Amino acid sequence: MIIYILFIIGFFILIKGADLLVEGSASVAKKLKISNIVIGLTIVAFGTSAPEFIVNIFASIQGNTEIAIGNILGSNIANIFLILGISAIICPLVAKKNTVWKEIPLSLLAALILGILANDILIDGDISSGLTRTDGLVLLSFFIIFLYYTFAIARITDENPISKDGEIKNLSYLKSTVFIILGLIGLVVGGKWIVDGAVKIAENFNVSQSLIGLTVVAIGTSLPELATSAVAAYKKQTDIAIGNIVGSNIFNIFWILGFSALIRPLPFSPNSMIDIFMTIFASVVLFAIMFIGKKHTIAKWEGISMISIYVGYVVFLVFTK
């Protein structure tokens, strides 16, 4: 019983840890005269991906690779169909030209590259499929290119979406340091409890770790993205709501899966190919919606449709995993 309680508490500690880490680090960076846009592209961006990252690190170290894979694929699918769907119901989401023609295709490219690298049976005729350490380096190389692109964009724009609140708190060095330390502790403790709990739940309920990773863990670690996009939609900062999700999906594949594969090669079962297909499909749907109905807009009815697709996918998982 205690493991289930720690599993639930772990999500709260993990997310609060990420929030404290971002708040403390951003305040220190501001005092050091680092520009807001650089803080937004580095500290805040990495901070919102910290829950997925920490969970994957623990899962990879402990050899629970199904949770590591399911966490990322499930997060990316939930980010588009569930979180953008909810955000579109709050307020129709209007994307800017750059998001439509560059960021969304880049997230689709990330999913396609993952599909290629993880499909050794189909492409190379091997007896098994997975991400090797070499594949991890390939993904990390694409992540470096993505960072270069985002910094290039930062030089020519005056937009500054730092966080869902849009501002950096001015904290003392002592308070910032305490926040950073508590944030790191929260990430480590929360991440460990989540992975241990997910493994135990899978064992006790006789379901696959993949199912738990694709659903419960994936949605739980995506809560920072949900909060950011939902609040941005409520404030009618709709491009931030979309950009937050697209950026998170790119981070998840290139950075987190790449780093996870470096720690321990990630084997992909034949069933995982369906989840990779859904990840690719989600990005294709997002791109297509930009040209259905009102151009470059996710309408409320489209948001409802996206949530319906996600519910159908989860039902499919329950009966097949």
Task: Name the residue ranges covered by the structural domains of the chain.
Answer: 2-320
What's the pLDDT score for residue 112? 97
Superfamily for domain range 2-320: NCX, central ion-binding region (1.20.1420.30)
Instruction: Please state the pTM of the whole predicted model.
Output: 0.88
Q: From first to last of its 321 residues, what are the pLDDT tens digits of the chain?
A: 788 899 999 999 999 998 898 888 888 887 887 766 567 666 777 777 889 999 999 999 999 999 999 999 999 999 999 999 999 999 999 998 888 999 899 999 999 999 999 998 888 878 889 999 999 999 999 999 998 888 777 666 544 444 444 566 788 889 999 999 999 999 999 999 999 999 999 988 888 999 999 999 999 999 888 888 888 898 888 887 898 899 899 999 999 999 999 999 999 988 889 999 999 999 999 999 999 988 999 999 999 999 999 999 999 999 887
pLDDT of residue 13: 94
What is the reported pLDDT for 260? 95
- Cite the DSSP H helix spans in the chain: 2-31, 36-39, 45-61, 65-78, 85-90, 97-98, 104-117, 120-124, 133-155, 173-204, 209-212, 218-221, 223-234, 238-250, 258-263, 270-289, 300-320
Q: Name the average pLDDT for the chain.
A: 89
**Contact yes or no for 140/255 (Cβ under 8 A):** yes
What is the predicted pLDDT for the residue at 219? 92
Angle, alpha carbons 199-139-230 (nearest 5°) = 65
How are beta strands 266-268 and 129-131 bridged, if at all? antiparallel
In the DSSP assignment, the letter for residue 291 is T
**Alpha-carbon distance values, 10 to 16, 65, 145, 271 (Å):** 10, 19, 33, 28
| 123-151 residue pLDDT tens | 887 888 999 999 999 999 999 999 888 87
Q: Note the pLDDT of residue 239.
A: 80
